[in-house]
Amino acid sequence: MKSDFREVKLSELSDIQVDYFIGPSKTVEYRDIIMIKYSGEYGFGSQGNSDAVYMKAMGLAALEAWKADAIILDWSDLKYEWGDMLELALDIDTGCCGPALPMAVIVGPPCEEAVRTLLLGINSNKGLETIEWVFKHKDEAMDYIEKQLQKAKS
């Protein structure tokens, strides 16, 4: 009997590049922060659906592998214009039984406006600075994460 199975790879879902960086908290002992950097071009509209699924899968894999205590998603080099499913990539910070991990997102010129409309609505006049966990600079995201880890410790 002939099998209908074909080989598949997660990398076939997307051309998005994913890089991982991990380091210790500077203010809370025994706590690690993972930075997941996504770069490349996210597909426009529904063409980005598989990119979103891939980004979520890679984020979940990183958390499973390295058991970090906080997450920074670096989208500063991600070209993103439109597509609601990018929100999937944000849905990696909770396990089945625990509280959400502290998370921050870094945006840059290739995605800043589209992320703003994704999170605040297309008709919103509000800026990204109204979202406490979205930042334009890595240092600001790091400071936010450190404060969140300190809160969780106490």
* Residue 108, Ramachandran bin (φ over 0: left; ψ between -120 and 50: alpha; else beta): beta
Distance CA 104, CA 70 (A): 9
Q: How far is CA 139 from CA 60, 89, 130, 142, 145, in A?
A: 24, 21, 18, 5, 10
With tokens 């058991």, the residue in question is 67
Q: Which amino acid, residue 77? A: D
Annotate 9-35 with b (16+ C-beta within 10 A) or e (fewer). Answer: eeeebbebebeeeeeebeebeebebbb
pLDDT tens digits for range 13-36: 999 999 999 999 999 999 999 999
- Rounded to two decimals, the pTM is 0.93
Domains in the chain (CATH in brackets) are 19-153 (3.30.750.24)
Say how many Å lie between the first and final Cα of the chain, rounded: 61
Q: What is the mean pLDDT of the chain?
A: 94
pLDDT tens digits for range 131-140: 999 999 999 9
Segment 73-95 mean pLDDT: 91
pLDDT at 97 over 70: no
The SS3 call for residue 88 is: helix
Beta carbons of 89 and 119 less than 8 angstroms apart: no
Which strand (E) or helix (H) includes residue 112?
helix 112-120
